[in-house]
Structure 1
Amino acid sequence: MQIQSGQVAVITGGASGIGYGLAEALAARGVRVVISDIRADGLAEAATALRETGAEVTAVVADVSDESSVRALAEATLAAYGRVDLVCNNAGVVCPAAPMWEQDARTWQRMIGIKMLGVIHGVKAFAPLLIAQGAGHILNTASSGGLAPLPSRTPYTGTMHAVVGLTETLDLELKQQSPNLGATVLCPGLVDTPLGRNSAALGAITPPPADAPAPSMRTLAAARGGILSPREVAEAALTAIEVDRVHTAPGAGVADRAQARVDALLSDLAAD
């Protein structure tokens, strides 16, 4: 899909982080953006900031875990612009750090509801619109945790693996409808976003005590070989969309971790 001025893009989780980076990058290309988020205050601030750059923006509060809320987002998009060309199912949260057997049911329900069903609801609401047009693209945000194991974050990595697999299948299904349709999964490494803070505000994790030492993003970046800005991740995603790639995984070390997983998988299979 070629991204062009005048097109319409919908971005869930658009008030901050990668979602806001996608909105910035798309607006810079002349795309009209519909940003959505569950946080009304953050959404309003993001819309104002984007409009100050000259972007054409519509803001819609939505809860991606609620299918009817996502359907309403699709209806609001059509009411505002009459079409949609790119759908970015980006909303997400993180989970507490604990072994799988210590993760409680509420954590699993939240991760599945937001990260997995959120993508499914987005596809169900918007894919028929793209198919009717005969052209368009869906971008699903996962994580490098969807390409390799991530101990102590099983609800997170499990749902991210699901997003990777369903996007691979979705791309094939869309191309059966039209060669001008497709899907891409975004699996970035370490990104400088407020995801942890937002997750705490939504009750997904418990924030650390105010006086507790916490590793800075720069410290984590040094340990992992670098950190990306949301805009850098967004630009990588849009590049992948334009060349019709199913996977994009920007970030230091991500390809190496994915390669190690694939090598281990193939080694196990070869032993059968």
Structure 2
Amino acid sequence: MVGDFKGKVVLVTGGASGIGRAIVERLAARGATLVIADILRKEGEKAAAAAREQGVDARFLPLDVREPDEVRDLVQAIVEAHGQLDCAVNNAGVEHGLQALADVGDEDWDRIQEINLRGVWLCLKHELPQMVRQGRGSIVNLASVAGLVGAPLLGPYAASKHGVVGLTRTAALEYGRMGVRVNAVCPSTIRTEMFQRSLTGRPDLAEKLVRNSPMRRLGEPGEVAEAVIWLCSDAASFVNGHQLAVDGGMTAQ
């Protein structure tokens, strides 16, 4: 098991469900002090309670990553409570239905960019200065293989995730000399609630995705979580500005 996070304060946005919840569970097992931020209050409180059962300090704070004041206040609250922010996992994001690019509505486009891309930027905007003041820190942004290659029928999502990769690379170049590492994890199809929602009206899609995967299966949230935790950990101390594909070989084809 990679990494001892005892004494480290870690923020996980979108930590109430899916990949975020798996990250929270595995960080708790490694002794991290956790702040779980999400728009889903009930699920977020459950995630924090489950983490505390593992013997760690964990709290839930409500967050809508579209709201600048909420993001600013979240980081301030973490620093006031703990005096530091060692790692941040910017995981909050949403999906959309399958549509050809010319058929995407303006509202759908704006919603995806606002949450998936602008939300990551707002988190970086407030996490980075704190880590610079400390002289250390690690940030992992959740992108996607749709941020590395084209994604037919997922134009808004692909655009947002390419943007996350661009923000990651830029932040790594700007802040690496100040002791802050910024990396991205790029999952392919992972068995989460978000993935299940994407199957609406397409019962054949899961089988097709499995058939096209080099490993002939979907990924599991815990497999993505382990990659995130490695990038957060001191074991990845010279990894900066990287986009780690967790895709079963999809982008190798």
TM (normalized to structure 2)? Answer: 0.89
Structure 2 residue runs without a partner (length 5+): none
* Equivalence for 1:270: none
Give 1:232 deviation, angstroms: 1.3
Which residue matches 1:187?
Answer: 186
Partner of 2:108: 107
Structure-2 separation of matches of 1:81 and 1:116:
28
Q: Is the 8 A contact 1:226 1:251 kept in 2?
A: no
CA offsets 1:181-233 (integer angstroms, 9 cap, x no match): 11011101111111246xx6xxxx8x84xxx6724857643442222221111
Residue 251 of structure 2 is aligned with which of 215, 237, 255? 255
Letter in 1 for 2:83: G
Q: Alignment RMSD, CA only?
A: 2.0
State whether residues 240 and 247 of structure 1, in contact with CA within 8 Å, keep that contact through their aligned partners in structure 2: no
Cα distance in structure 2, aligned partners of 1:79 and 1:217: 45
Paired residue for 2:151? 150
**How is 1:83-122 mapped onto 2 (pairs within 5 angstroms)?**
83-122=84-123
Q: Conserved in 2, the CA contact under 8 Å of 1:188 and 1:254? A: no
Separation of aligned partners in 2, 1:59 and 1:168: 29
Q: What secondary structure sits across from 1:249 in the alignment?
A: strand
Equivalent AA in structure 1 for residue 156 of structure 2 = P
Q: Is the 8 A contact 2:18 2:193 kept in 1?
A: yes
Residue 214 of structure 1: which of 192, 203, 218 is its match?
203
Matched residues in 1 for 2:30 and 2:160: separation? 31
Runs of 4+ in 1 over 4 A off after TM superposition: 215-219
CA contact (8 A) 2:143 2:161 kept: yes
Between the aligned partners of 2:207 and 2:160, the Cα distance in structure 1 is 27
Q: In structure 2, give the amino acid aligned to 1:75.
A: Q
Give identity over the alignment, percent: 33
Amino acid of the structure 1 residue aligned with 2:226: E
* Aligned CA distance change for structure 1 residues 216 and 72 (closer, same or farther; 3 Å): same
Q: How many residues align?
A: 244
SS in structure 2 at match of 1:248: strand
SS at match of 1:182: strand
Q: Could you tell me the TM-score, scaled by structure 1's length?
A: 0.83
2:31 and 2:50 mapped to 1: Cα distance? Answer: 16
CA deviations 1:46-65 (Å, max 9, x no partner) are 22222222232110010001
Check 1:72–1:153 CA distance in 2 against 1; reply closer, same or farther (3 A cut). same
More divergent stretch after superposition (125-134 vs 167-176): 167-176
